[in-house]
Amino acid sequence: MQDRTLTAEVTPGDEITVAGWVHEIRDLGGIAFLILRDRSGKIQIKFEKDEMNDEIVQTGLDVPRESVISITGVADDEPRAPTDVEIVPTAIEVLINTPKIVATGTEGGTELFPITYFGEEAFMNQSPQLFKQLMIGSGLERVFEIGPIFRAEEHNTPRHLNEATSIDFESAFINHAEAMDACEYVVTAAYQGVAENCITELETLGLRDGFSVPDESFPRISYQEAIERINATGELDEQLVWGDDLPTDGERALGADVGSHYFITDWPSEIKPFYIKDHDDDKTLSTGFDMMHPQMELVSGGQREHRYEHLVSGFEQQGLDPEQFDYYTKMFRYGMPPHAGWGLGGERLVMTMLGLENIREAVLFPRDRQRLSP
């Protein structure tokens, strides 16, 4: 929602769009008020029943509290309003509300480290993904985290770790394209920070002269274009077809062809996780994206499926047990805003930024299949 205005920034006379949670509804007969809340504050929405479209009035006054809505209208001065300004709506959209289907689900996969937690089976967390989404639903709107993740993958490569650092971002009221904008900004800012604050360290590593900050937008290449360009390089023994995951050799061939950081977008829905939203106009394509360095993947992200019925359907299509993670899906029954985000591998960022040959050089005490101590 790129054109969304925060409630605290609304100026009388402007025609704007605001979005947030229904904080309160007061129906006084011929006139009614809805208080909308977002991260910056609250604003009053006025419904004059006899002078407005009946559908707008009904939609605005029928939504349950804490529903997530978007309202477009004209802002007016109103000294009696909580913030001295109110909006008269010309359009209102319910972005999720209370659905009628009751079902739950879980994130599947076998790449988990089991542990015993006071006599109960538990696992080391693969990703903060589900918890980020729950915080978005609670009204925080934007969530940032830098923390460890654990994956029981039996890899033995220069770019994989079993304990890694994930730099995570999640935001309400943005789509996958805006999430990519944020991702590009963060990675570029990291390079700028190193260039400005780590001159001595770069000299010690012999990288002062060769270190450069990305100065152009990262190209956005569709999955279809990616497999076509990889096939055209002739680097693979077999041609890739729609639905294939991209092999390491293919990623490197494409990276060499692009020559800079880039995004791969519009992945097939069938090979992206259940929580990634499909495109509205083509259900075979997901809004998932990967951000790539020419050498490897750095980021995985996308717009999340915020509609309860569609989320449950995604669980079922992937054969996931709907009983285990009720804590995750239950919030979607009460109103989840559209949201998007991503996770960035911290060690991979350092590795590619500094041109390291092995990701273990970016970690003080790396953990992999062979190393548990020290």
Question: Do 124 and 55 sit in the same domain of this protein?
Answer: no
Domain range for 298: 114-219+260-362
For residue range 116-163, what is the model confidence (pLDDT) as tens digits? 777 877 777 888 888 888 888 888 889 888 888 888 888 888 999 988
Q: Which positions are annotated as active-site residues?
A: 151, 153, 159-160, 297, 300, 348
pLDDT at residue 82, rounded to an integer = 82
Question: Do 211 and 292 sit in the same domain of this protein?
Answer: yes
pLDDT at residue 322, rounded to an integer = 62
Question: Do 338 and 274 sit in the same domain of this protein?
Answer: yes
Separation CA 182–CA 173 (nearest Å)? 13
pLDDT at residue 1, rounded to an integer = 53
Question: Do 199 and 338 sit in the same domain of this protein?
Answer: yes
pLDDT at residue 277, rounded to an integer = 94
pLDDT at residue 110, rounded to an integer = 53
Separation CA 364–CA 214 (nearest Å)? 27
Question: Do 182 and 274 sit in the same domain of this protein?
Answer: yes
Residue 222 backbone dihedrals phi, psi, to 5 degrees = -70, 155
Domain ends where: 65, 96, 127? 96
Using alpha carbons, select from 366, 357, 352, 274 the residue that is nearest to residue 311.
274
Q: Which of 48-62, 106-120, 130-144, 304-318 has the lowest mean pLDDT?
A: 106-120
Using alpha carbons, select from 49, 40, 52, 138 the residue that is nearest to residue 85.
40
Q: Which of 5-9, 69-73, 96-100 has the lowest mean pLDDT?
A: 96-100
Mean pLDDT computed over 300-309: 92
In a domain, 248, yes or no: no
Average pLDDT, the chain: 87
Question: Do 42 and 190 sit in the same domain of this protein?
Answer: no
pLDDT at residue 14, rounded to an integer = 84
CATH of the domain at 20: 2.40.50.140
Structure-token pair, residue 344: 């960035």
Question: Do 180 and 294 sit in the same domain of this protein?
Answer: yes
**pLDDT tier at 62, thresholds 50, 70, 90:** confident
Instruction: State pTM to two decimals.
Output: 0.76
Question: Do 203 and 134 sit in the same domain of this protein?
Answer: yes
* Per-residue pLDDT at 105 exceeds 60: no
Separation CA 281–CA 288 (nearest Å)? 15
Mean pLDDT computed over 55-59: 88
State the total domains in the chain.
2
